[in-house]
Amino acid sequence: MSAHILIVEDEARLARFIELELDHEGYTVSRAADGRTGLEMALTGEPDLILLDVMLPGLNGLEVLRRLRNEKDLPVILLTARDSVMDKVSGLDMGANDYITKPFSIEELLARIRAALRTGAAASKKTAALRCGALELDPARHTAAYDGTPVQLTYKEFLLLQTLLENRDIVQTRDMLLEKVWGYDYAGETNVVDVYIRYLRQKLDDPFGVKLIHTVRGVGYVIKGDGA
Ligand code: CA
């Protein structure tokens, strides 16, 4: 069964070139030339992976990614212009799995596609809901609830909470969390973990009057087995 790749790219010649190369590799390929069509096809067309240009007419790539992540968890590789560090950082924060800077070699693109597809396959196996006390996390639907009350989490907040829940009672260092949630090549500030822990506490600890995420001073963070 060949993977289906959706290319969302408004530069027709580049899109056509990628399409031919992917087709040659045996992938099923579909194409969209603007953000709105791309989002529609991503939501309805069941692609296994999306190559998403950032600079797009209609909706830009980051906006497509943001809306997509509210609905679906599938691998996304951003195609970014050279030197647009902001796009890369916000793209990864918003849940892109990887990015590749134009101009790129087709070999590099193919290698990243293979890696992202492997990640996606591994992620979709872990679909059982995670529970801890009154907290429930459903990785398949990307929803979280405390005592039945839905909690709105961003993509990275969700991944961070999921990682802590999957490693219950095992203290996670900042480096471990950075690698698991932001990826090995994260280029931003290292205190991003602390910032996101604070976001999670604002959404969980404060409103529900609990202390879910414990700080282990000088080491990292942990969620305890019973959620207390
Ligand atoms: Ca473009």
Predicted confidence (pLDDT) at residue 126 exceeds the cutoff of 70: no
Average pLDDT over the chain reads: 88
Predicted confidence (pLDDT) at residue 52 exceeds the cutoff of 90: yes
Centre of ligand 1 from the C-alpha of residue 132, in Å:
44
Q: How confident is the model at residue 2 (pLDDT cuts 50, 70, 90)?
A: confident
Q: Output the pLDDT for position 92.
A: 78
Tokens 């996606």 identify what position?
120
Q: Using one digit for the tens of pLDDT, what is the confidence trace for 166-195?
A: 899 999 999 889 888 887 666 667 688 999
Predicted confidence (pLDDT) at residue 87 exceeds the cutoff of 70: yes
pTM: 0.61
Predicted confidence (pLDDT) at residue 46 exceeds the cutoff of 90: no
**Higher per-residue pLDDT: 212 or 91:** 212
CA atoms within 13 A on the CB side of 162: 22
Centre of ligand 1 from the C-alpha of residue 182, in Å:
25
Centre of ligand 1 from the C-alpha of residue 80, in Å:
9
Token pair of 228 as six digits: 């207390």
Task: Report all structural domains of the chain as residue ranges with CATH numbers, in order of start.
Answer: 4-124 (3.40.50.2300), 130-223 (1.10.10.10)
Token pair of 212 as six digits: 């879910």
Centre of ligand 1 from the C-alpha of residue 195, in Å:
32
Centre of ligand 1 from the C-alpha of residue 9, in Å:
6
Token pair of 116 as six digits: 């992202």
